Structure 1
Amino acid sequence: MKALRARADRPASPGEGGPAGGVPAPAAPPSPGRPVHTLAVADVFAALDTSPRGLASATARQRLLDQGPNELPAARGPAVWRQLAAQFTDLFAVVLIVASGITFLAYALQDPRQPGTLQLAVAILCVVVLNAAIGFAQEYSAERTAQTLQAMVPHRCRVLRDGALEEVAVRDLVPGDLVVLEAGDTVSADCRVVEAHDLTVSNAAITGESDPVRRTAGPDTAEEVLRARDCVFMGTDVITGTARAVVFATGQATEFGRIFRLTAGAPRQKTPLQRQVAVMARRVAGTALAVGAALFAIRLPTGQGLVPSFVFALGVMVALVPEGLPATLSVSLALGVRRMARHHALVKKLLAVEALGSTTVVCTDKTGTLTQAEMTVVRIWAADGEHTVTGVGYEPNGRVDDPDAVRELLRSAALCCDARLVAPTGAGHWRVLGDTTEGALLVAAAKAGLDTAAEEAKAPRIAEHPFDSVRKLMSTVHDEDGTRRVRVKGAPSEVLARCTRLDRAGTAEPLTDAGRRRVTDAADALAAQGLRVLAVAAREVTGPPGTRDQDESDLTLLGLAGMQDPPRPEVYEAVEACHRAGIRIVMVTGDHPLTAEAVARRVGIVRSAAPTVATGAELDALDDTALDRLLAEAGELLLCRVSPEHKMRVVTAFQRRGEVVAVTGDGANDAPALKHADIGVAMGASGTDVAREAAEMVLLDDSFGSIAVAVRLGRSVYQNIRKFLVYLFSHNIGELAPILAATFAGFPLVPITAVQVLAIDLGSDVMPALALGAEPPESDVMDQPPRPRTEPLFSRAVVRRILFLGGIQALGVCAVFFWRIHDSGIPYADFTADNPVYREAITMVQAGIVVSQFFNALAVRTERESVFRAGVFGNPWLIAAGLLGLGIMAAISYLPLLQAVFHTAALTAGDWALLAAVGVLPLLADEARKARLRSRAPRPRGDPRRDRKETCAMRPEKDAR
């Protein structure tokens, strides 16, 4: 680095930095004719109209004016008022608004005007506002992905201008600027390297590749600039070394800017539940309006007045619209959000809870998602055999099997490292400064009992030969008590070619052809396990300092180190749970195919001998039809060396096939796919802000295992949604049936008023429905295949159960109403709204619905299992909610103020006994239905609880294998 700065201060040569005379002319935007990464260093300066002294300050200022700042534009989300207005354009909201408008109109047309009608209109509007407030609070999350992308770029960087090193704001970088990079820097723009010393960078945020990659100054012939070894990109990190690089792209013209455009342009996909609720709302709204209009047309010719017929039709429409459903749905989903949060899964959008439960395909990243993104030495090969290393990650907890036999190997490897192992501070964790591979070697040395700092003090480094991509090895020279020793590490083939001896228990033996084959076989065996293999060698040198080739010849091979980026310990069980649930897992990564397959096998994603592996280049050669065929035919599928565009294309192709796609990821390169997926799942701890903002769900503990838990809870949410839909819509039949019966029987008044219907929907039904939404997952929820994307929310089974339970309730309330009317002996034509018998009859209808719903809630808790076996009091919140509804009904019946509002009357003890006898019928009938189902189709999988115990008992054996 000192050398770089010294050269920066040399006098300017004529023509550098601007035209002769020192007065720089405004520079036009550079436009190299050939890709900049293919040019020689001298041609790079010419093509970008700059020099080794950097730009002149005046030239840089002019280019900044011409081309704009080096920043990404702020994302413009919808205006707040638009987001709020959208809540009132939902079809359920429109239906309720129409109902409120009709009610206001009816109130205006009444003579005399009835306060109850006005109260009803206001109450419906309050429901609309409540639903909108809940939806707005959940959806109000501005699209901050672009701003987060900017936050990943450093605010200042070092550049050469007018031949002097200075710091400038990142936004002021322009093409042609010569930036100076050191280990630990974040690259601020896309740059062409023109001078490099042991430079490695991490491209994980752009390409998803986990391993640091070497960068050199020489021209490269790669077709894609992302693969060019002489370029570095905005948002990536310098791991080791120093460099100078010329900026050739800034702002949106960078590769990071390209990802920004993809992310900003990716539309949010509606979840399956959103689509089905929309379909349900259309059908319910259409049915309510059609039935109301038909009955209005039927009653009007019979001599009923316009306004009474209008109010009657309104009562029918209100009876059919479940006013409390939107709020119930939102709050029930919120309960699922809270449950997931307890399992470290933060859900940002309510409907994403159910979407995850209906997932059929998970496209998962590898690094940081399935693995810990921490290299770990797990095997060491020496002449005496293999040695196992325990422990994972950078925390030096673990042991080396027979450490004395490999102590010199690990000592040499540690001394030949530029990385540093950093202990945690506070609540942090162990980390590595520098190359992760070298970090793994340092950790392995510490596990063998070596104090690397003390070893470096005893053997100070006096020279080094940095790694380069041609030699594929690195060597350092140390002074050890007056003796110079060379320590070498690198690719096994390169190191072995320079060895003439093999260390065996401290004795150097000649390396024969048979010995070389043995070493090669050992390296191949470690590589076949998916391990990255490094060879370690050493030699003692005498005489004056030698050249690099002299120092790296006549070596003694000490052994091999095999390392891996270990999978997270909980991933195997999570993958197994997803397989049991019928969820397909596809690995989509920027890493090498062999690395990806090795990890996929370790975590259980791949089990067959020959999975389908496709690279990004191969995907480019496929049209949409061929891609669809690949996704359909390939069972176990690994997609490697893919770009953000590839990920989005794969997600779109799966969705085109009708799949519900969840995408996991942690890097900025994952953001477009995360946003485009049905459900994006980002890593919270190690992931980038970009990924977290683009995703609907964030795993706070970065645990893939949390995905399986979230799927289980998501499926439970959907089951519970169906339970309270059955609960809510079955009593709608009970509300509508008496009205229809009265119409066709010629009774002049409605058996239940719109105000009473609203009181049932919001006062007696919402809390039990919410309690049903809190039902715990059923025991076999993860043993069932995913729900088909095309399966309607109101499936045939759900509709049959609604008609079954609703029909029984309807018969009961119709019976009690007409029994009370006929028992009075008063002709139909003589009944008025103030008739005490009529008020008693409509009170019994309302109370009958409330009582029957109390027992109905118990019935719908289970689909097949008897509620008495599951436990009548298994959901205490449901019992409490039901009792609250009965209490509200009692208050409506007995309190004079509420009697005046709802036109009700006090019920006797005999009335309540009759209502209880009628109300329990749905529960008893449903118990008979469940018993019939159990007898006809017993569970094919046996007792799910026993299956789960057996599965849990088997897992340790699988892990041991």
Structure 2
Amino acid sequence: MTQLLTPGDRSRRPAAAAEAAGPLVQTLPPGEVFAALDTSPRGLAATDAVARRDRCGPNELPRARRRRVWRQLAAQFRDLFAIVLLVASAITFLIYALQQPRDVGTFRLAVAILGVVVLNASIGFAQEYSAERTAQSLQAMVPHTCRVLRDGERQEMPARELVPGDVVVLEAGDAVSADCRLVEAHEASVNNAALTGESDAVGRSGDPVAAGPLLEARNCVFMGTDVIAGSAKAVVFATGAATEFGRIFRLAAAAPRQKTPLQLQVASMARRVAGAALAIGAVLFAVRVPAGQPFVATFVFALGVMVALVPEGLPATLSVSLAIGVRRMARRHALVKKLLAVEALGSTTVVCTDKTGTLTQAEMTVTRVWAGGESHAVSGVGYAPVGEVSDRLSVRELLRVAGLCGNARLLPPPSDAGRYPHSGRGGWRVLGDTTEGALLVAAAKAGLDLAAEEAAAPRVGEHPFDSVRKLMSTVHGAPDGDTYCAYVKGAPQELLARCTGIDWKGERRPLTEELRAEVVATNDELASRGLRVLAAARRPVTGPGCTQDEAESGLTLLGLIGMLDPPRPEVSDAVDACRNAGIRIVMVTGDHPLTAEAVARRVGIVRQTAPTVVTGTRLDALDDNALDGVLAEPTELLLCRVSPEHKMRVVTAFQRRGEVVAVTGDGANDAPALKHADIGVAMGASGTDVAREAAVMVLLDDSFASIAAAVRLGRSVYQNIRKFLIYLFSHNIAELVPILAATFAGFPLVPITAVQILAIDLGSDVLPALALGAEPPEPDVMDRPPRSRRERLFSATVLGRTLFLGGIQALGVCVVFFWHIHASGIPYSHFTEDNAVYREAITMVQAGIVVSQFFNALAVRTDRQSVFRIGLLSNPWLLAAGCFGIGLMAAISYLPVLQTVFHTAPLAAADWAVLTAFGVLLLAAEETRKWWLRRHRPVRPVGRKGGER
């Protein structure tokens, strides 16, 4: 027996392993592959699999080595703004060293600048470290699974449990989890783009091939590739790092993390603001030096002002806000794989949604069976085989054929279900296609033992289902081995066209036009009830190797099967929310138009009497201009009987019209549309690995309601970014305007020192901004139209609000400063830095900015709604951050040590009362502005009749 090559052996010598294992597995006939890999067609025994896993290790690639903590921390000091601040701090330290006599204020400024750098580095490090941990935990929420034969039983297990010698079952839509040698293949094709860069599907066969490069062997499939069509059975010969994908993984260097367009936009804006700060500092220096101010002191002051106005914490605050959005979406069952998707969700204008599983519960239940001109009811709901079929004998052959023509398995409740009552493991479930599972349940209700039927008529051939012909056929042999029969199931329209006879109460009749019309009418009547309808047929064939055309022509129709997938109860409210948000919902399904319309009406997508229904056939007849015209019509739209190519074309057409499109999908054939969409949304529970890989968002519960919740959170994230931009830049105005006013008014000193400005940045700037990034969505966030994709982050609206709030703050602090100065009766020229009145005045300016920022943070929490409506206590982190800033300001005012550092003086209770009054005035002014907007520019519901915007 050939020695089994373990992953450990291959990882130590990958080149030799490929040469040794390649010719071995690819040149052997299928029957000899099992012996070569020390396994059998029944798969491994459970004990053998455990032993091999202990020897070979888990089937997973080595995790990228994480940077050491000190390297992660050091990286925070290589940011552009950190470098600017470090240079400024170094210059200030140098000036202090060269001064004669040395000014302790210069030293304090240098230390304060360095403190800002350390604070922002700490925040950035904490955010990055937390993001890595979050990403790891979220990835674990969508584990990859595979179907394996163990002890002859088909099981579903995590892909990391695979070992060499395992026999795996592959179907269209599966991701290949290890390097495998095919032993059976039924029109299977794979996409090897991850390994070869070729995106075209490549056919696969179980037959032996000549020795050669392993990647060129048509009877092998490899980790990281996808099964595009067909089905296959294969034996694992390499796992983990020993695979071809693992070899490439080891050679590939880790790609640098790319910033999202939003992050780049914010960074660019911050750089422009930094340039403006440098210009302002230069102007202050140029104005104050000719006025007789000391050169060195003026330079140090201008340098401090420039540093204080640099938005050094903006990139970190942005990242934190996006990371918070990702975690919130995960709690709402939406796993976001890219930060950009969080922000892009807020501008979604069209959602192209599947029906089954997304709008419905994905638990197909057969409710009606039609055979021989009579309709029969089926009782029971769900996958539990509890219920009955009226007149079993009349439908027995129909359900037997439909049940045998499939690959699904019905799994009973696990033995430990009672131990986990809330785990979702307690009920019957289907392994495989849910429609096939419903047929199995119906067959069991009719008293059929499909295992015994399979033994009596074993399957010897298969022509898998594909979305083009919409059929599946299997070939079965009789016990005598001399006769064979093809069983076919699929879409009634497609199957009926291939039938020449019909089973009518146990005897075959020619399928006349009258009978054909009766079948069509019955199909339409079932579909109008919202049922998904399948047809089943059979015919004798010449042998197990019959062609697909032979198996699927000249058929005898056995009857129709109607099944219902109940809508999810939460979907109707989510559809209403999307309508109110101006988002158009388009159902894109492969189902019959009547079925699609019935479900669409149940969930509220269709409300009109006559919605626009476009089938795949009509789409083929439309050119691009005609299709654009259909999409532009202000009506509700259903796309039925469509293929993946149709879905891709519709997405492209919507984008051509300037729409931001979110697309849902669960199959491998949905991957192109998911990748091309602005937001690709895959199903986490029922979706294929290929679909989940192509999407940027995965719905862990498969529910449309999670899309609506994600859009709401996406809009909230973008609004929160704007909120802390307004917050950050408005207080910069309050710091700058008093300095300019004092300079041009001829006052010899400054209303606020650079060290005080930096203290504001440290104490009442970053933490409240972070808290605003965690602000919950506003009540009316889904009552507003989608944001234009061309809209800039720092728009005219944001700028106007920044100037409004910053202007009020600036006015308040200028008033308290000059009022305190003039109230003393001392001329401007007599003021010195040690003057008690001057120290009280600059303390009031600093305290005034801090207090007004507290009220400013409350004011910017909403765009139009009153902050009192959402509740002042609904964001406790913001209140805590504001109280911390005021507490720090009180310490600076009253503690002698900090008085010396910041050159401040203690404030009286009356002073605090005046400053609080100005803060309340700011909040009142902003509330008045919001009231005026609500009254004179009300936000009307944007969802018009038909769901269009």
Please, what TM-score do these two structures have when normalized by structure 2? 0.69
CA gap of 1:107–1:131, structure 2 versus 1, over 3 A, is: farther
- How much has 1:932 moved relative to structure 2? 3.0
Shift of 1:744: 1.1
Task: Give per-residue Cα distances to partners, 1:133-183, cap 9 Å, x unaligned.
Answer: 1453366589999999998899999xxxxxxxxxxx99999xxxxx99878
Structure 1 residues 336-368: Cα deviation after superposition (integer angstroms, max 9, x where no partner): 344333322344555643332233455667776
Which residue is equivalent to 1:739?
A: 739
Distance 1:889 1:936 in 2: 40
Give, in angstroms, the shift of residue 583 of structure 1: 3.4
Q: 1:697 to 1:599 in 2, by over 3 A?
A: farther
Q: CA deviation at 1:846?
A: 0.9
Give 1:304 shift.
2.2
| 8 A contact 2:190–2:226 mirrored in 1 | yes
Per the alignment, residue 718 of structure 1 pairs with 718
Give me the whole-angstrom Cα distance separating, in 1, the residues matched to 2:382 and 2:766: 50
Equivalent residue of 2:290, what SS? helix
Q: Relative to structure 1, is the Cα distance of residues 650 and 280 closer, same or farther in structure 2, using a 3 angstrom cutoff?
A: farther
Match of 1:531 in 2: 532
- C-alpha separation between the residues in 2 aligned to 1:466 and 1:155? 20
1:572-601 CA-partner distances (Å, limit 9, x unpaired) = 654553344233567889x79989978996
The letter of the residue matching 2:284 is: L
Q: Report what 1:442 is aligned to.
A: 440
In structure 1, the partner of 2:7 is none
Question: Structure 1: how far apart are the matches of 2:892 and 2:236?
Answer: 79
**Aligned with 2:108 (options 91, 116, 130):** 116
d(CA) in 2 for partners of 1:524 and 1:215?
Answer: 39
State the match for 1:462 in structure 2.
456
Measured at CA, do residues 465 and 688 of structure 1 come closer, stay the same or move farther in structure 2, by a change above 3 Å? Answer: closer
Structure 1's 822 and 391: CA in aligned 2 closer, same or farther, altered over 3 A?
farther
Rate the CA distance shift 1:688–1:138 in 2: closer, same or farther, 3 A.
Answer: farther
1:321 aligned onto 2:322: no
Q: Counterpart of 2:289 in 1: which secondary structure? A: helix
> What amino acid sits opposite 2:108 in the alignment?
G
SS of the residue 1:359 aligns to: coil
Residue equivalent to 1:380: 369
| Counterpart amino acid of residue 806 in structure 1 | G
Q: Tell me the CA shift for residue 245 of structure 1.
A: 12
Q: Is the 8 A contact 1:588 1:642 kept in 2?
A: no
In the alignment, is the contact (CA less than 8 A) between 1:130 and 1:327 conserved in 2? no
Displacement after TM superposition at 1:101 (Å): 4.5
Distance of 1:721 and 1:214 partners within structure 2: 49
CA distance in 2 between partners of 1:79 and 1:643 (Å): 43
Secondary structure, aligned partner of 1:535: strand
Shift of 1:810: 1.1
Which string of whole-angstrom CA distances, capped at 9 and with x for unpartnered residues, describes residues 864-893 of structure 1? 344455555555554444333322222211
AA at the equivalent of 1:443: V
What is the identity percentage for the equivalent residue pairs of Structure 1 and Structure 2?
57
SS across alignment from 1:301? coil
Match of 1:355?
A: 344
- Structure 1: how far apart are the matches of 2:766 and 2:563? 57
Separation of aligned partners in 2, 1:578 and 1:681: 16
Whole-angstrom CA distance in 1 between matches of 2:889 and 2:176: 68
Match of 2:266 among 277, 301, 307: 277
Check conservation: 1:593, 1:641, Cα contact below 8 A: no
Q: Which residue of 2 aligns with 1:307?
A: 296
Tell me: CA distance 1:408–1:780, structure 2 relative to 1, closer, same or farther (3 Å): same
CA contact (8 A) 2:147 2:169 kept: no
- How far is the alpha carbon of 1:680 from its aligned partner? 5.3
Following TM superposition, by how much is the alpha carbon of 1:310 offset from its aligned partner in structure 2, in angstroms?
1.6
Match of 2:331 among 332, 335, 342: 342
Please give the per-residue CA displacement for 1:516-552, whole angstroms capped at 9, x wherever unaligned. 542354346657878352236899xxxxxxx99xx99
1:926 maps to 926
Taking structure 1 as reference, are residues 575 and 79 closer, same or farther at Cα in structure 2, changes over 3 Å only?
Answer: farther
- CA contact 2:616–2:643 (8 Å) conserved in 1: no
- For 1:441, the aligned partner's letter is L
Q: Give 1:927's aligned amino acid.
A: E
Counterpart of 1:753, as a letter, is T
Corresponding letter in the other structure for 2:301: F
- Give how far 1:291 is off: 0.8
| Cα distance between partner residues in 2 of 1:631 and 1:798 | 37
Deviation at 1:703, TM superposition (A): 2.7
CA contact 1:805–1:856 (8 Å) conserved in 2: yes
Q: Is the 8 A contact 1:416 1:475 kept in 2?
A: no
Change (3 A) 1:929 1:128: closer
Given residue 755 of structure 2, which amino acid in structure 1 is its aligned partner?
Answer: V
Which range moved further: 693-702 or 179-188?
179-188
Q: How does 1:92-241 map to 2 (within 5 A)?
A: 92-93=81-82, 95-97=84-86, 99-110=88-99, 111-114=101-104, 115-137=107-129, 140=132, 199=186
Take 1:527 and 1:515, find their aligned partners in 2: how far apart are those partners? 18
- How many angstroms apart in 1 are the aligned matches of 2:352 and 2:293? 63
Paired position in structure 1 for 2:504: 502
Is the contact made by 1:181 and 1:238 (CA closer than 8 Å) also made in structure 2? no
Question: Equivalent residue of 2:561, what SS?
Answer: strand
Q: Is the 8 A contact 1:116 1:901 kept in 2?
A: yes
Alpha-carbon distance in 2 for matches of 1:516, 1:461: 34
- Amino acid across the alignment from 1:854: F
> What is the number of equivalent residue pairs in this alignment?
835
1:338 and 1:149 map into 2 onto residues whose CA distance is 15
The Cα shift of 1:284 comes to 1.3
Equivalent position of 1:210 in the other structure: none
Structure-2 change in CA distance of 1:934 and 1:149 (3 Å): closer
Q: Could you give the per-residue CA deviations for residues 640-688 of structure 1, whole angstroms, max 9, x where no partner exists?
A: 65489x96x9989988986655565556777788778765544444456
* 8 Å CA contact retained: 1:588, 1:640: yes
Q: Displacement of 1:317 after TM fit?
A: 1.9
Task: Determine helix, strand or coil for the equivalent of 2:612.
Answer: coil
- In structure 2, C-alpha distance between the alignment counterparts of 1:252 and 1:673, rounded to whole Å: 33
CA separation of 1:699 and 1:495: change in aligned 2, threshold 3 A: closer
Worse-matched range after superposition: 863-872 or 755-764: 863-872
Which letter maps to 2:535?
A: L
Deviations 1:232-275 (A, max 9, x none): 8975679999879999xxx9999x99x99xx9999988545324
The 3 A distance-change label for structure 1 pair 802 and 99 is farther
Residues of 1 paired with 2:243 and 2:874: CA distance? 60
- Aligned residues of 1:106 and 1:117 also touching (Cα < 8 A): no
Indicate the residue corresponding to 2:16 in structure 1.
none
Q: Distance in 2 between matches of 1:593 and 1:519?
A: 15
Mapping of residues 218-617 of structure 1, within 5 Å: 271=260, 273-347=262-336, 352-362=341-351, 376-383=365-372, 385-387=374-376, 394-396=383-385, 402=390, 408=396, 412-413=400-401, 416=404, 420-425=409-414, 426=417, 427=423, 428=425, 430-432=428-430, 437-446=435-444, 448=445, 450-453=446-449, 461-463=455-457, 469=463, 490=489, 502-503=504-505, 513=512, 514-523=514-523, 531-535=532-536, 559-563=559-563, 570-571=570-571, 573-584=573-584, 608-611=611-614
Partner of 2:750: 750
Supply the distance in 2 between the matched residues of 1:292 and 1:643 (Cα, whole angstroms).
59
Distance in 2 of aligned mates of 1:676 and 1:752: 54
Q: What is the distance in 1 between the residues matched to 2:671 and 2:255?
A: 10
Q: 1:679 to 1:518 in 2, by over 3 A?
A: closer
Relative to structure 2, which stretch is displaced further, 634-643 or 798-807? 634-643
Q: 1:266 to 1:243 in 2, by over 3 A?
A: same
1:611-760 to 2 correspondence within 5 Å? 611=614, 641-642=643-644, 662=662, 664=664, 681-687=681-687, 697-760=697-760
